[in-house]
């Protein structure tokens, strides 16, 4: 059965619906209000106050990169692959101090090199993670990207120390359970890159700093997995590379829902 599902999934990923990736991202200021909780799976993106350097494309904040197209496309893939009842169009945007966050098991945050955080944010994220929430961190690069000072690992790591003092980042490898929660992801060292130089780095924070326990945070560093989701259907990247990025996204969601 698992092999059959994988074959079916591969065909679905290769044949993304025609409308996927054909629309533009939401214009500045058009971020929707939260969709009321109804028991269906809803993709949750974290909104935060960026650093002064974290604005581009006419003033778009860093947290909005790829919104909402990337997650809408991923939700269509999830709907086709499994029985999880998902919102495909409605993407929630939530701040870390919003009690609504605790209604959802998984949250996604992007461009965290430009992420600023206050004490209420830190407390909110800490409670979310300790109560069983799972955080996906995506799309930030080495220092000096695009000539911008900042935006790299250190600002993000400092914020996470405020959230979980003493938390360790573990280098992840292909044997970690998250890479086998649905698809069998057999390599990471040469994982497809959307536009970055160098190899992507996958790091994790585990409960009690024990890699044998629950993964609380997965970090996609020096890569942008969601860029493939956003661009699918536009022909910007090879189908095979896009499929691999979708497989990661599906695995992340399945892991977060089952751990």
Q: What is the pLDDT of residue 112?
A: 95
Give the DSSP letter of residue 112: G
Alpha-carbon distance of 208 to 170, in angstroms, equals 12
92-137: per-residue pLDDT in tens?
999 999 999 999 999 999 999 999 999 999 999 999 999 999 999 9
Q: What is the pLDDT of residue 192?
A: 83
10-62: per-residue pLDDT in tens?
444 444 443 443 334 555 555 666 789 999 999 999 999 999 999 987 889 99
- Cα distances (Å, whole numbers) of residue 140 to 172, 184, 214, 234: 17, 25, 24, 23
Q: What is the pLDDT of residue 1?
A: 40
172-187: per-residue pLDDT in tens?
999 999 999 999 999 9
Bigger pLDDT: 113 vs 1: 113
What are the domain boundaries of the chain? 2-15+40-195+206-258
203-259: per-residue pLDDT in tens?
999 999 999 999 999 999 999 999 999 998 787 888 898 999 999 999 999 999 999
Q: What is the pTM of this model?
A: 0.88
Q: What is the pLDDT of residue 83?
A: 86
Q: What is the pLDDT of residue 105?
A: 97
> Which H or E run contains 250?
helix 239-258
Q: What is the pLDDT of residue 205?
A: 98
The tokens for 202 are: 């996958």
Burial pattern 105-133, b for ≥16 Cβ within 10 A else e, equals bbbbbbbbbbbebeeebbebbbebbeeeb
Please give the CATH superfamily to which domain 2-15+40-195+206-258 belongs: Domain of unknown function DUF4159 (3.40.50.12140)
Q: Of 71-75, 124-128, 187-191, where does mean pLDDT reach its minimum?
A: 187-191
Q: Of 71-75, 135-139, 143-147, 159-163, where does mean pLDDT reach its minimum?
A: 143-147
């Amino acid at each position: 059965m698992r092999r059959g599902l994988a074959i079916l999934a591969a065909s679905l990923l290769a044949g993304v619906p025609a409308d996927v990736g054909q629309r533009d991202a939401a214009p500045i200021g058009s971020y929707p209000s939260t969709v009321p909780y109804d028991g269906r799976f809803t993709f949750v993106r974290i909104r935060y106050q960026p650093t002064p350097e974290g604005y581009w494309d006419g003033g778009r904040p860093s947290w909005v990169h790829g919104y909402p197209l990337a997650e809408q496309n991923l939700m269509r893939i999830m709907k086709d692959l499994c029985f999880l009842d998902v919102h495909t169009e409605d993407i929630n945007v939530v701040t870390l101090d919003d009690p609504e966050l605790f209604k959802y098991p998984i949250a996604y945050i992007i461009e965290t090199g430009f992420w600023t955080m206050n004490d209420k944010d830190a407390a909110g994220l800490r409670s979310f993670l300790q109560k069983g929430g799972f955080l996906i961190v995506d799309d930030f690069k080495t220092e000096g990207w695009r000539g911008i000072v900042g935006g790299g690992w250190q600002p993000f790591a400092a914020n996470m120390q405020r959230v979980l003092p003493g938390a360790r980042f573990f280098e992840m490898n292909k044997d970690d359970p998250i890479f086998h929660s649905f698809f069998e992801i057999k390599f990471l060292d040469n994982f497809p890159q959307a536009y970055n130089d160098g190899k992507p780095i996958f790091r994790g924070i585990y409960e009690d700093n024990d890699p044998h326990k629950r993964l609380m945070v997965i970090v996609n560093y020096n890569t942008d997995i969601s860029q493939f989701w956003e661009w699918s259907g536009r022909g910007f990247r090879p189908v095979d590379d896009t499929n691999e990025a979708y497989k990661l996204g599906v695995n992340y969601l399945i892991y977060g829902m089952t751990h």
